[in-house]
Amino acid sequence: MTPPRKLHIKSYGCQMNVYDAQRMVDTLAGEGFVETASADDADLVILNTCHIREKASEKVYSELGRLRVMKDEAARNGRQMNIAVAGCVAQAEGEEIIRRAPVVDVVVGPQSYHHLPQLLAKAKRDGRALETEFPVQDKFGFLPPPKPDAIRSRGISAFVTVQEGCDKFCTFCVVPYTRGAEVSRPVAKIIDDVTRLADHGVREITLIGQNVNAYHGDGPDGRAWPLGKLLHRLADIPGIARLRYSTSHPNDVDDSLIAAHRDLCELMPFVHLPVQSGSDRILSAMNRRHTAAEYHAVIDRFRAARQDIAFSSDFIVGFPGETEEDFSATLALVTQIGYAAAYSFKYSPRPGTPAADMPEMVSAGEMDERLERLQQLIDSQQSAFNLAAIGSTVDVLFERPARKEGQIVGRTAYLQPAHVMASPDIIGQIRPVSIESLERYSLLGRLASRPIASAPSAHSQISTGA
Ligand code: 5AD
Ligand code: SF4
């Protein structure tokens, strides 16, 4: 019997890549590959890349430099190591990767992971292989379902892709180019995936997509189902205790989604709703197609449906033409809304996007300074949100042993890590926890005796997109 070949995948960027990496593992398991934790002893290393900002894509080339050394070392020891680049950099810069990095054997875009076995065979035959087409067929349908063992090792919380791609064309964003047009998976397939995951002990599902609330998959009734209706159906699956979704565009928040937040205790009251800027002038230049006031109105609809709801968001500072006044409008919006968490980025021109050709670049110094001010404000809001938990009793879904001996760690409704001293038996359970203190971003507490409330707990981060 030939020993299994070893596969190491390193994923960058959003949760979609984390999910895709799992599906690549499943696809290659059929070819006799098993996953290994380090690149050194791998027969195949896949870099699952992110193109969203410049820093993210430059990482690929520095990582390839390191892999070249490993590949040479393996060859000296008579072992062959193959290197593949997947993800959005592969999609956007496939030809350039081939030119710049001869160490790469396979380049594969996100729509073609089901072809990995054939691409590896082609690379063996021809030296190299590249596939970055957007095929017409639905790639979701071709990827094998995860094997039960693989599901078990993925724990209590899992991601399920329900939608991919984006038609919004925000002027700064590469996603519509790297991930293509919006496609939704059929409801039946999602139900199958979630049922299988639940049967193997998964308690929390995060539905992911670049613009997940634009979901409109074919339902069993022959109609297109909106996200809210899908969430209602998934909440009925036995074993599923928590549902989340990420990431959303404010303009695609429809009444079905608001109703789901009102009606479903399984749906966590924590929503990632990127706004990018608080200035109407900049929002318009970004092609976001909504104003700051309209964003506020969307937030108000969520809050009216569920009073304990909290929000996170994404912000870009230094978009071309952003003045101090525009930036102040962003600070004002953050102050008015009050976020539980948020991500902020310096604008990074992405080749091929309309904003990359806009004049009036904001200077690096100004960008740094604005980022610092925005992050300080967000940090203070996040700290206040976390501190407010002290003294209260909150539901925690326990996921795994913590690093500290005897401690078990889980997540609250708002994705805050929460640690208690307890037996590992509680893993997979939602238990009330009295929160006693805060250590950096983690809540510390002890198991409380209050019976498990029907009220929910948690959401998942993040995100390319929306
Ligand atoms: N520059 C900086 N940030 C960006 N994002 C997307 N594209 C860019 C860019 N060109 C951010 C947005 C998005 C998040 C995933 O990444 O805030 O919501
Ligand atoms: Fe689409 Fe989000 Fe990118 Fe806008 S920022 S183009 S909504 S993925």
pLDDT tens digits, residue range 125-134?
999 999 988 7
Q: Is the pLDDT of residue 220 over 90?
A: yes
Q: So what's the pLDDT on residue 56?
A: 79
Phi–psi pair at 452, nearest 5 degrees: -60, 120
What value does the mean pLDDT of the chain take? 92
Q: Is the pLDDT of residue 253 over 90?
A: yes
For residue 276 the two structure tokens come to 């990018």
User: What's the one-letter identity of residue 307?
Assistant: Q
Q: Is the pLDDT of residue 460 over 70?
A: no
CA of 52 to the centre of ligand 1 (A): 6
Residue of minimum CA distance from atom 2 in ligand 2: 466
pLDDT digits (tens, 9 = 90+) for 390-404: 999 999 999 999 999
pLDDT digits (tens, 9 = 90+) for 410-421: 999 999 999 999
pLDDT digits (tens, 9 = 90+) for 414-447: 999 999 999 999 999 999 999 999 998 899 999 9
Q: Is the pLDDT of residue 376 over 70?
A: yes
Mean pLDDT across the stretch 159-187?
94
Q: So what's the pLDDT on residue 15?
A: 87
Mean pLDDT across the stretch 208-218?
96
Q: So what's the pLDDT on residue 167?
A: 95
Q: So what's the pLDDT on residue 445?
A: 97
Q: So what's the pLDDT on residue 451?
A: 53
Q: So what's the pLDDT on residue 102?
A: 93
Mean pLDDT across the stretch 155-171?
94
Residues with Cβ within 8 Å of 404's Cβ and at least 6 positions away in sequence, in order, are 419
Distance, first Cα to last Cα, the chain: 48
Residue 386 near residue 438 (C-beta atoms within 8 A): yes
Q: Measuring CA to CA, which residue among 128, 133, 59 is closest to residue 99? A: 128
Cβ atoms within 10 Å, residue 195: 15
CA 326 to each of CA 67, 103, 171, 258, 322: distance values in angstroms, whole numbers, following the listed order? 43, 45, 17, 30, 6
Q: How confident is the model at residue 345 (pLDDT cuts 50, 70, 90)?
A: very high
Residue of minimum CA distance from atom 8 in ligand 2: 465
Pairwise CA distance, residues 311 & 37, whole Å: 34
Q: How confident is the model at residue 461 (pLDDT cuts 50, 70, 90)?
A: very low
Mean pLDDT across the stretch 119-146?
80
Phi–psi pair at 16, nearest 5 degrees: -60, -40
List Cβ<8 Å contacts ≥24 apart for 298-304.
298/250, 298/253, 298/273, 299/273, 299/337, 301/253, 301/258, 302/253, 302/258, 302/261, 302/271
Name residue, tokens 């590992």: 424
Q: Is 166 in the pocket of ligand 2 (CB under 6 A)?
A: yes
Residues in the chain, total: 466
Q: Measuring CA to CA, which residue among 446, 423, 443 is closest to residue 433? A: 446
Q: How confident is the model at residue 2 (pLDDT cuts 50, 70, 90)?
A: confident
Chain centroid to CA 313 = 13
Q: Is 382 in the pocket of ligand 1 (CB under 6 A)?
A: no
Mean pLDDT across the stretch 340-355?
95
Q: Which ligand is nearest to the CA of 169?
A: 2
Verdict on whether the full-model pTM lies above 0.85: yes
Pairwise CA distance, residues 427 & 260, whole Å: 27
Q: Which ligand is nearest to the CA of 17?
A: 1
Q: So what's the pLDDT on residue 150?
A: 63
Q: Is the pLDDT of residue 136 over 60?
A: no
pLDDT digits (tens, 9 = 90+) for 38-89: 999 999 999 999 999 888 778 899 999 999 999 999 999 999 999 999 999 9
Residue 215 near residue 163 (C-beta atoms within 8 A): yes
Q: For a substitution probing ligand 2, which of 17, 171, 178, 210 has the most ligand atoms within 8 Å of its CB? A: 210
Q: So what's the pLDDT on residue 55?
A: 83
